[in-house]
Structure 1
Amino acid sequence: MKKPLKPVQLSADEIALVRSLVIYEDPHILALAKPAGLSSQGGRGQVNTLDELLWAFAKPGKARPRLIHRLDRDTSGVILTAKTQPAASFLGKAMMARKFSKTYQAIITPSAPEPPVGRIDVPLRREEQGREAYMRVCAPDHPDAEAALSRYRTLKSAPGCALVELSPETGRMHQLRVHLAHIGRPIAGDVRYGGALAVSGQPIPRLMLHAIALEFPHPEGGRKRLEAPLPADMAGLVEKLGLI
């Protein structure tokens, strides 16, 4: 039998923060708009992760909601949790069966992809460098190769950049970031994979990747679509770069 997790003590500010992130809740699920800079799980240092902040929603003596998937620390957007064990099991199986549909938006440089709509079907492999993990493109017959497929669509282009919509059909770590870098269109602010730190004179403070929508089977039946609008910093950059 699994030992129950010990609740994390949260400050009033942390509780207020995580409660302010809620975009949808029902008896089965809780969805939040994760800000950039907050680790989903397994963060290092003194700052609590989103997984730990979920203790703010735990009823006395009960478990906290469980994360169904993760977002990179510097990626913002919709993240889904299950409030009950049956919901967690149902959603976990749906995720494994690829019944989730994820939609992202990203600012890329130096221009729109060619063609403007397409797919990137390139295997990836994990590579460790010290305490850091990277993903690299590799040949299909590489012993560590993992199949990876991403779809993209150009929404708007401007001098030196473009706004694209992205749909990963597989869920590899850093998949969208590596695939876009592979085609010579890295995501702005992506230091790890060659993204620009300034575009048209505008500084890029972070990775410009946002999980804007998530569609999935609901434990009670049917499909549910949840959306999180672009955060203020990314929306402001989109406007300044003429990508509206």
Structure 2
Amino acid sequence: MTRNREIPAISPEDLALVQGMVLHEDNSLIAFNKPAGLAVQAGSGVARSLDGLMAAFSRSNGKRPRLVHRLDQGTSGVIVAAKTQPVAAKLSEAFAGRGVQKTYLALVKGRLPPAETGVADAALVKVEEGGKARMIIARPDRKGAQAARTGWRVLARQGEFALMQMSPETGRMHQIRVHLMALGCPILGDALYGEGQATAPRLMLHAARLDLAHPEGGRRVLEAPVPEDFRAAAGAAGIQAGL
């Protein structure tokens, strides 16, 4: 949680938006179902961000929840914020130390793998192209390269389209997107690593499930329902099963 900050005004529309996104709330954390298109953090050209909307949950002393991990702006699904600094430290450590099991759903198109399950194990490195940052597959010994592993499972196939379940073991920037591109089947709607809007109006990647150690003990499973536009894209691709 952020402290010693003046509580900014939040519009009734933004208040309704962020309150409607809450999946779970307890004394330690809040889980949200982030819609595709909403940025997680403020930046150049970003008019609204989930971090900014945390003002809706500010205490009278100015403290507010703190997001402990990220999702790409185009990705929908479950994301977690901590209510206190100790909880934020515990959750951040869990995400960094692979103590959180993450499950994503992706609609893909291309040269599908013949196997039903597998692991993409390829190091990534960040590069700048045209003023934009992106990740590429790199040799493990390349300067700046980061190890990256993503488990995958094909849930349904239809021609060159598939619904895939992705289980990243590491949390590198754009990891799932790059690994799927490297497999030969980028995510529908991915403008950076795929065909962009030629295949879908937005990135068809959904953070469906988080299984994490709760700061107060035990484990907590947090799930976000599949958005209607994701279901519609799957239907358009002829995929009916798996959702």
TM-score, scaled to structure 2: 0.93
Q: Which piece of structure 1 moves more, 167-176 or 123-132? A: 123-132
Show the counterpart of 1:26. Answer: 26
Which residue does 2:164 correspond to in 1? 164
Aligned to 2:215: 219
Whole-angstrom CA distance in 2 between matches of 1:196 and 1:206: 7
Q: In structure 2, give the amino acid aligned to 1:19.
A: Q
The amino acid that maps onto 1:12 is P
SS at match of 2:104: strand
Correspondences of 1:114-133 after superposition (within 5 Å): 114-133=114-133
Residue in structure 2 matched with residue 44 of structure 1 by the alignment = 44
Post-superposition shift, 1:87? 1.2
Deviation at residue 89 of structure 1 after TM alignment = 1.6
CA deviation after TM superposition for structure 1 residue 160, in Å: 2.5
**How do 1:11-160 and structure 2 match up within 5 A?**
11-45=11-45, 47-160=47-160
* Letter matched to residue 124 of structure 1: L
The amino acid across from 1:193 in the alignment is Y
Q: Give the 3 Å change call, closer, same or farther, for CA 90–197 of structure 1 in structure 2.
A: same
Q: Determine the C-alpha separation between the residues in 2 that align with 1:136 and 1:6.
A: 40
Alignment partner for residue 242 of structure 1, among 234, 238, 241? 238
Residue 190 of structure 1 corresponds to which residue in structure 2? 190
Note the residue ranges of structure 2 that are not aligned, 5 or more in a row: none
Are 2:116 and 2:154, in contact at CA under 8 Å, matched by a contact in 1? yes
- 1:110: how far off? 2.2
CA distance in 2, matches of 1:29, 1:240: 37
Contact conserved, 2:150 with 2:169, CA < 8 A, in 1? yes
Q: Distance in 2 between matches of 1:142 and 1:88?
A: 32
In 1: Cα distance, 2:177 partner to 2:238 partner = 22
Taking the aligned partners of 1:25 and 1:159, their CA distance within structure 2 comes to 41
Quote the Cα distance in structure 2 between the aligned partners of 1:63 and 1:120: 40
**Secondary structure of 2:140's partner?**
coil
Q: What is the deviation of 1:165?
A: 0.1
Output the CA distance in 2 between the equivalents of 1:111 and 1:182: 10
Q: Contact (CA 8 Å) 1:75, 1:208: kept in 2 or not?
A: yes
- Cα 1:240–1:130 change in 2 (3 A) is closer
Residue 192 of structure 1 aligns to a residue in which SS?
coil
Do the aligned partners of 1:78 and 1:213 also contact (CA within 8 Å) in 2? yes
How far apart in 2 are the matches of 1:196 and 1:15? 31
- Residues 16-60 of structure 1 deviation map (CA, whole Å, 9 limit, x = unaligned): 101000000011110000001111113322512100101101122
Q: How many residues get paired?
A: 239
Q: What is the Cα-based RMSD across aligned positions, in Å? A: 1.6
SS of the counterpart of 1:197? helix
1:180-238: CA deviation from partner (whole Å, max 9, x where unpaired): 10111100110101235345xxxx10100000001100011111001001111011222
Query: Is the contact made by 2:112 and 2:184 (CA closer than 8 Å) also made in structure 1?
Result: no
1:74-121: CA deviation from partner (whole Å, max 9, x where unpaired): 000000011112211221222222101110000000253232210010
**1:235/1:27 Cα in 2 relative to 1: closer, same or farther (>3 Å)?**
same
- Which structure 1 residue ranges, 5 or more long, are not aligned? none
2-11 vs 68-77, which moves further: 2-11
**What is the distance in 2 between the residues matched to 1:221 and 1:3?**
25
Q: Offset of 1:4 from its aligned partner? A: 2.4
1:206 matches 2:182: no
